[in-house]
Amino acid sequence: MPRKARKLSSTNIYHVMIRGNRRQDIFLEDEDRFRFIKILKKVKQKGEYELYAYCLMSNHVHLLIKEKNDQISRIMKRINISYVNYFNKKYQQIGHLFQGRYKSEPIESENYLLAVLCYIHNNPLNAFIVNDLKEYPWSSYFVYTEKSSRQAFLIESEDILSLFSPNKDRAIDLFIKYHHQNILEKNNIIELPEENKKYNQSLINEREAKQYLQNYLEKYNLNLSNLKEKEHQSHRNNLISYLKLNSNLSIRGIANILRVGATTVYKIQ
């Protein structure tokens, strides 16, 4: 059966995720993470792509990539093959390290770009690995929030910060607040200055999220209790994915309105 064609992005920007085969760890120690970042740099230096964000978790990786001189499929092939060769040689393994093809989601607007970037950076926080994003060394969050960074040349941070404010210090402050809106206890709404509110318009609040949920359930003739049933898990997962990327609700907030466990919400990408 032929593979389903990937959706192409008119902006050439994609949210890419690669996961360990059978959810196995793909980074066993810090040296592995350093090597993966080194590979990102090497491929990027050839002018193949621009990178807006990354986050290395134990068994998966998130990247926010813009195609430049090559297509996303070839970019990811070079990155993946290089890392798999390193990993298998180091740990004397053979076979597949990654679970199938990489996943990619086209980014079509600035608002969605910022929402995905925030989601990527918040992964270690949502996984309860750290209590503060700045404590996690294996994401690009610190590149945006520190004035000097060893990874500054890897990330197009200026492009993103300019979306918040032309003043860099003010942009960093708004960038941090924007990320924290995803972890506030209630409603998670950060008031941006009037000139910056356009960057927050796409994130729906709790009331709008509940309306979306109601419309979705009516469309498919479902109720909330159905979402806990195995035959309707795909609907549950669709709702979780949509709300994680398009609302300003926390993991707990999404779990509450869907009446599912917070762990379930966290696991769904």
List phi, psi (to 5°) of 228: -90, -5
Q: Is the pLDDT of residue 193 over 50?
A: no
| C-beta neighbour count of 105 within 10 angstroms | 19
Mean pLDDT of all residues in 39-52: 91
> pTM above 0.95?
no
Dihedral sign, Cα of residue 110, residue 115, residue 118, residue 124: negative
* Extents of the domains making up the chain: 13-160, 204-269
Cβ(97)–Cβ(88) below 8 Å: yes
Q: Is the pLDDT of residue 3 over 50?
A: yes
User: In percent, how much of the chain has pLDDT > 70?
Assistant: 87
Closest by CA position to 115, among listed 152, 166, 160: 160
Q: Is the pLDDT of residue 186 over 70?
A: no
Q: What are the tens digits of pLDDT across the range 89-129?
A: 998 887 788 877 788 899 988 888 988 999 899 988 878 88
Residue of higher predicted confidence among 265 and 256: 256
Q: How far apart are CA 38 and CA 17, in angstroms?
A: 18
Q: What are the tens digits of pLDDT across the range 155-170?
A: 999 999 988 888 888 8
Residue 69: predicted pLDDT: 84
Q: Is the pLDDT of residue 267 over 90?
A: no
- Among 69-73, 80-84, 97-101, the minimum mean pLDDT is found in 97-101
Strand extents, DSSP E, the chain: 13-19, 49-56, 60-67, 103-107
Q: Is the pLDDT of residue 243 over 70?
A: yes
Q: How far apart are CA 160 and CA 27, in angstroms?
A: 28
Distance of CA 102 to the CA centre of its chain: 13
What tokens were used for 1? Answer: 């059966």
Distance of CA 164 to the CA centre of its chain: 19
| Residue 46 vs residues 68, 71, 253: alpha-carbon distances, Å | 10, 13, 43
3-state secondary structure of 74: helix
Q: Is the pLDDT of residue 40 over 90?
A: yes
Task: Please state which CATH number belongs to domain 13-160.
Answer: 3.30.70.1290
Name residue 236's amino acid. Answer: R
Mean pLDDT of all residues in 1-9: 67
Cβ(130)–Cβ(123) below 8 Å: no
